[in-house]
Amino acid sequence: MTTIRLPGLVDAHVHLREPGYEHKEDFYSGTAAALAGGVVTVLDMPNTVPPTGTPELLADKAQRAAGKAVCDVGLFVGATTSYLDAYLPVAERACGLKIYVSDTFGSLRIESLSLMQRFFRSWAERAEGIGFRTRGAAAGLGPIAVHAEELMLPVCLALSKLYDVPLHVVHVTRRSEIELIRAAKERGWPVTCEATPHHLLLSSEDAARLGPLGDMRPRLASPDDVAALWENLETIDLFATDHAPHTLAEKGITAQATQPPPGVPGVETMLPLLLTAVHAGRLTLDDVIERCAHAPRRIYGLPEPPESYVEVDVDAVYRLEDGQMKTRCGWTPFAGQEVWGRVTRVVLRGQEVYAGGEVTALPGTGRVLFHPEQAR
């Protein structure tokens, strides 16, 4: 057994489903799954019910997370057509603003240019005087994170450039998209991006085999698109999972479902999948540490918890199985896949929080980032 020590990882894109969909996941089950994957900080998305669109709803979410989380949690606010930019007075208490421009699960969608203009302009104005954490400041606002596929991507790139707001493009999948982002970066535009393990390791050729368990937004892309992600690894700032749990019944596996919701879980399988890619010589360990720890902390201005690390037995070889998963949904699209590397122990702020396959931390051990009053 060879044990290596890694910094505590960050998953900058998870859906912990609270409030509204606690039967899929909640702040305890989702952060327990994170620890099992060596992740000590997650950034939670706003497409809950109700969506995180007002100061009150953000405060409510922070309180829920503070009571249950076993790892640290940052919370996005979301752009909605109902609350508009009501979140602005508490913008610095969010890790960033999420805008859904393309089709996804739930009702959040922004489809007009005038609204997009409003969200970018008001975020830029709110940052006046306090700046962006993204640019190295300790305070200030986070970036605008967008789910923007196809023709919506250049719209977001242009708005970010015009209003000088840092843009983070979530789950990039297509050759055209990664090439456009590379071109924007080469010109010094303020853009960063992420890719998910499932979009890097699966393609449209796996979709029939996986059925609803391989359906997510963006959809699994063509083998050429997947190849383009690997060719442009230097343009991919970070890896994040888009951990999007739905139950097997909702997916139509254990019950009839007419319209299974898109999304797959991933927070606890990211590290072993990436370490398996390291084992295969497709990535270096430094590529993984940079994209799963350093880059997300830099891009979102996240504090690094002191005395925190992850121990991994890099010689362990095993199969990922649904029954091992700590996510409440209890499955993984990678079931049956052989992987290298097992998380054996996680220490957060000097406290052992996960060991021997079990969470040892009490609910509430995790902190809510940018909410100092919730820290104990």
Binding residues for Zn ion, rule: CB under 5 A, are: 242
CA distances from 87 to 41, 97, 113, 290, 306 (A): 23, 9, 20, 31, 30
Query: Which of Zn ion, ligand DOR, none does 177 bind, CB closer than 5 to 8 A by kind?
Result: none
Nearer to ligand DOR among residue 147 and residue 371 (C-beta) = 147
Q: Structure tokens of 87?
A: 């979140």
| Minimum distance of ligand DOR from residue 112's CB (angstroms) | 20
End-to-end distance of the chain based on CA atoms, in angstroms?
A: 37
Query: Which of Zn ion, ligand DOR, none does 214 bind, CB closer than 5 to 8 A by kind?
Result: none
Nearer to Zn ion among residue 11 and residue 242 (C-beta) = 242
**Helix, strand or coil, per DSSP, at residue 159:** helix
Nearer to Zn ion among residue 72 and residue 242 (C-beta) = 242
Contact positions vs ligand DOR (CB under 6 A): 15, 47, 104-106, 147, 216-217, 242, 244, 261-263
Asked if 156 and 169 count as a contact pair (C-beta separation under 8 A), the reply is yes
Query: Which of Zn ion, ligand DOR, none does 263 bind, CB closer than 5 to 8 A by kind?
Result: ligand DOR
| Minimum distance of ligand DOR from residue 13's CB (angstroms) | 8
Query: Which of ligand DOR, Zn ion, none does 197 bind, CB closer than 5 to 8 A by kind?
Result: none
CA distances from 30 to 43, 69, 75, 256, 304 (A): 11, 8, 14, 26, 20
Query: Which of Zn ion, ligand DOR, none does 217 bind, CB closer than 5 to 8 A by kind?
Result: ligand DOR
C-alpha 301/C-alpha 317 separation (Å) is 35
Nearer to ligand DOR among residue 17 and residue 291 (C-beta) = 17
Residue type, 37: G
Nearer to ligand DOR among residue 78 and residue 263 (C-beta) = 263
Closest chain position to ligand DOR (CB)? 263
164 Cβ contact partners less than 8 Å away, ≥ 6 residues apart: 124, 190
| Minimum distance of Zn ion from residue 4's CB (angstroms) | 30
Query: Which of Zn ion, ligand DOR, none does 190 bind, CB closer than 5 to 8 A by kind?
Result: none
C-alpha 96/C-alpha 73 separation (Å) is 13
Asked if 52 and 95 count as a contact pair (C-beta separation under 8 A), the reply is no
Neighbouring C-beta atoms of residue 295, cutoff 10 Å: 20
| Minimum distance of Zn ion from residue 163's CB (angstroms) | 23
Nearer to Zn ion among residue 237 and residue 242 (C-beta) = 242
Query: Which of ligand DOR, Zn ion, none does 216 bind, CB closer than 5 to 8 A by kind?
Result: ligand DOR
Asked if 219 and 204 count as a contact pair (C-beta separation under 8 A), the reply is yes
Bridge partner list, 44: 14, 75
| Minimum distance of ligand DOR from residue 181's CB (angstroms) | 18
| Minimum distance of ligand DOR from residue 262's CB (angstroms) | 4
Nearer to Zn ion among residue 182 and residue 198 (C-beta) = 198
C-alpha 219/C-alpha 142 separation (Å) is 27
**Helix, strand or coil, per DSSP, at residue 328:** coil
| Minimum distance of Zn ion from residue 100's CB (angstroms) | 9
- Axis-axis angle for helices 152-163, 175-186 (nearest 10): 20
| Minimum distance of ligand DOR from residue 46's CB (angstroms) | 10
C-alpha 37/C-alpha 339 separation (Å) is 13
Nearer to ligand DOR among residue 102 and residue 235 (C-beta) = 102
